[in-house]
Chains A and B, each alone.
Chain A
Amino acid sequence: MSMERTAAADPGVPTKYSGERSGEETSRGGGGLGGIGHGKSGARALKNNIATVLIWGAFLVALIPLVWIMWSVLSKGLHPILNITWWQKDQSGVGAPGFDHNVRGARHAIVGTLLVALWTSVIAIPIAIMTAIYLVEYGNTRVARAVSFMVDILSGVPSIVAAIFVYTAWVTVFHWKLIPLCSSLALVLLMVPVVTRSTEEMLKLVPNELREASYALGVPKWKTIVRVVLPTSMSGIITGSLLGFARVAGETAPLLLLASYTPYLNENSFSGIMAALPTMINVNFANMTGDQVSADRVWGAACTLILLVLVINLIGRLIARLTKIKS
């Protein structure tokens, strides 16, 4: 994935070079530059300093929301999830008469979130990898350009539009009953472009010499791709898939449209109603200002979700950093 590649490798080069320069400039700015008058070069040095301060400031300001969000979620959501019940029980029986009114578990929602993301991945990853192979290995036709354009468009399709599309096809046109898999189908539309783009970047990095060597030995094209190209770029593909998984695990809008919420555990994606962490947050959100129990459930589910997404994300980035293709 291009983002990872630049994060890991590219900034190093210009940074080193600009770092060496900056010391030299500061001294020059003060001393004046031969023919250029002192007032002018003073103004230029001042501008340069202001720019440096602003650019550092922008970076530091951008960290505020990240730290603030993490602090809010952890400080309010950590104590419900540190209770072992949170991971073991669902919400069945909560709120019934005679039941002690407590927070209880989120097992149903955690399992639901993982299952929805898992089914999405099962459908989306093969399509995405084959599309990327088509673009890189069979590309350069008009169809390939159209596919590439459509991948871009698909990556810009708002999740609610993807959801409304699945709703229209499934319910309005075919009159089928919504099942948990419907959410996955909508999320497939969001995951395919993410994984396609990252796989594409990785396949492009595979040196052409490898392919040519394989062809020279008489290996057919498809076997070259399966045995040589894919294994070489495997870590990048895994990284892209993990980032895609993390993205769809946190998506909410399609679930609002295509899945209702249930307090009970359901592990079957083909029937019934399945809960997920985002829908659990959504259901309890309305009462959270007045009711501490609802607030605990919201912050607890938010905390679980953010930890899940960030951990998967970091694992993906770690794999990308540890196993880079040396081109």
Chain B
Amino acid sequence: MTPVEASTRRRWGDLIFGGSAAAAGWTVIVSVVLIAIFLLAQALPAIGQDHANFLTSTAWAPNDKPARFGILQMLWTTVVSSVIAVLIAVPFSVAIALFLTHYSPRWLSGTAATLIDLLAAVPSIIFGVWGFMVLAPKLVPVQNGISDVFGWIPLFARDDAVSGGTTIFTIGIVLAIMILPIITALTREVFSQAPRSHQEAALALGATKWEMIRTAVLPFGRPGIISATMLGLGRALGETIAVMFILSSLPDGAPWSSSIFGGGTTFAAKIASDVAEFTPGVGTGAYIAAGLVLFVLTFVVNAGARIVIERRKAFSE
């Protein structure tokens, strides 16, 4: 084999292999772009034929003639249930991440981390069945208790239209359980990278363990917590099947209350539960438009999470 032959063969090998690696990378870019283009192309004509305001109407009758559909009620339920989930999950996740990195005895830490991660492996349909059959009925007294005390605030008003605890509040709790492992895993990673020298310095100055955490670990981890929170929020916004199984949907034309103890539906659950009504034309377009709004919502939240973490990298390097 002459040197020339060897080098051409090498070049071909490298070209083919490097080329397929680049092609795989491009596949990912193209997929995301295609998702956006296809959803837009299908959703925009449908929104054009909508005889209600897409953003401010609560009606959902895309198969009527003329079609009338708006996303306000879905947007409210999606956002409120996800915000409840984040409000519950973040303090727990941060505490658990601190537990795993700074408090847990050594023999426990590996197992404890695996247990929390296993919670992420439970399929969402299991959360749906469990939440509806087991958890929701148990939450009825809790919800009644809260609305007895705080019922004068519209957000906590009692809503007797929904029975069995199948409310936005219950969904918020189930979503909180579902996103807890993700937020915990990400915050744990950041906390474990907190500079040892800062922690030792705090302790050497006579700080208690909690003061050390508050002054040396938490400030370092703040961008990580924010970014993990946003990723968790993204997951909660898009959760489909648990919401569909648990949350009482409102009958067509029913007035919608702003209470978290009422029913409703989210973008994802609405799309999944109305699959049978998909018809060619405007009908399907309306659901695709709802999917597009969900895509944009999760895109913004996830991109935000990424920007927060990139900025931290820029500062720390």
Binds A, one of B55-63, B139-147, B208-216: B208-216
Chain A residues, Cβ within 8 Å of B312? none
A305 surroundings in chain B (CB, below 8 A): 123, 125-126
| Interfacial chain B residues near A179, Cβ < 8 Å | none
* Assembly CA distance A256 to B14 (angstroms): 43
B80 contacts the other chain (CB 8 A): no
Q: How many residues of A are counted as interface, with CB atoms below 8 angstroms from the partner's CB atoms?
A: 112
Cβ of A177 within 8 Å of any chain B Cβ, yes or no, is: no
Contact present for B123 and A278 (CB under 8 Å): yes
Asked if B291 and A160 sit within 8 Å, CB to CB, the answer is yes
Query: With the chains together, A143 CA to B26 CA distance in Å?
Result: 8
CB distance from A96 to the nearest CB of B (A): 24
Please tell me if the beta carbons of A302 and B125 are within 8 angstroms of each other in the complex.
yes
Assess whether A226 is interfacial by the CB under 8 Å rule: yes
A98 to chain B, nearest CB (A): 30
B185 touches A3 (CB 8 A): yes
Those of A169-217 within 8 Å (CB) of chain B: 169, 172-173, 189, 192, 196
> Please, which residues of chain A bring their CB within 8 A of the CB of B127?
69
Q: Which of B92, B98, B298 is within 8 Å of A158, CB to CB?
A: B298
Quick one: closest B residue to A295, CB to CB?
B133
A62-B96, A65-B177, A69-B127 known; A131 and B25 CB under 8 Å?
yes
A298 proximity list for chain B (CB < 8 A): 129
Interchain CA distance A278-B10 in the complex, whole Å = 48
Minimum Cβ distance to chain A for residue B160 (Å): 20
Classify the interface of chain A: helix, strand, loop or mixed: helix
Q: How does the 8 Å CB contact mask read for B119-142 relative to A, with 1 for contact and 0 for none?
A: 101111111111001110000000
* B23 → A minimal CB distance (Å): 7
Q: By the criterion CB–CB under 8 Å, are A156 and B209 in contact?
A: no
Quick check: is A257 within 8 A (CB to CB) of the other chain? yes
Answer whether residue B167 sits at the interface, using C-beta atoms and an 8 A cutoff.
no
**A-chain residues with CB within 8 Å of residue B126 when the two chains form the complex:** 69, 73, 250, 302, 305-306
Determine if B118 and A310 form an interchain contact, defined as CB atoms under 8 angstroms apart: yes
> Does A282 interact with chain B (Cβ within 8 Å)?
yes
Give the chain B neighbours of A2 by CB distance below 8 A.
Answer: 189
Query: What residues of chain B lie closer than 8 Å to A126, measured between beta carbons?
Result: 24
Q: Which residues of A contact B184 (CB under 8 A)?
A: 62
A322 is an interface residue with CB less than 8 A from chain B:
no
Q: Is the CB of B209 within 8 A of A21?
A: yes
A116 within 8 A of B: no
* CB of B282, distance to nearest CB on chain A (Å): 12
Known contacts A158-B294, A222-B16, A302-B126; is A288 also within 8 Å of B302 by CB? no
**A59–B240 CB distance below 8 A:** no
- Write the nearest CB–CB distance from A253 to chain B, whole angstroms: 4
Cα A249 to Cα B99 in complex, Å, equals: 31
Contacts of B238 in A (CB 8 A): 156-161
Residues of A in contact with B (beta carbons under 8 Å apart): 2-3, 6-8, 10-19, 21-22, 25, 28-29, 33, 36, 44-45, 47-48, 51-52, 54-59, 61-63, 65-66, 68-69, 72-73, 126-131, 133-135, 137-138, 143-144, 146-147, 149-162, 164-165, 167-169, 172-173, 189, 192, 196, 220-223, 225-226, 246-247, 249-253, 256-257, 278, 281-282, 285, 288-289, 298-299, 302, 305-306, 309-310, 313, 317
Given contacts A29-B208, A55-B96, A158-B240, 6 further A-B contacts (CB under 8 A): A15-B106, A147-B28, A150-B31, A153-B299, A285-B129, A305-B125
**Which 9 pairs, one residue from A and one from B, show the smallest C-beta to C-beta distance?**
A158-B238, A250-B123, A130-B24, A222-B17, A58-B95, A156-B302, A11-B109, A48-B208, A134-B21
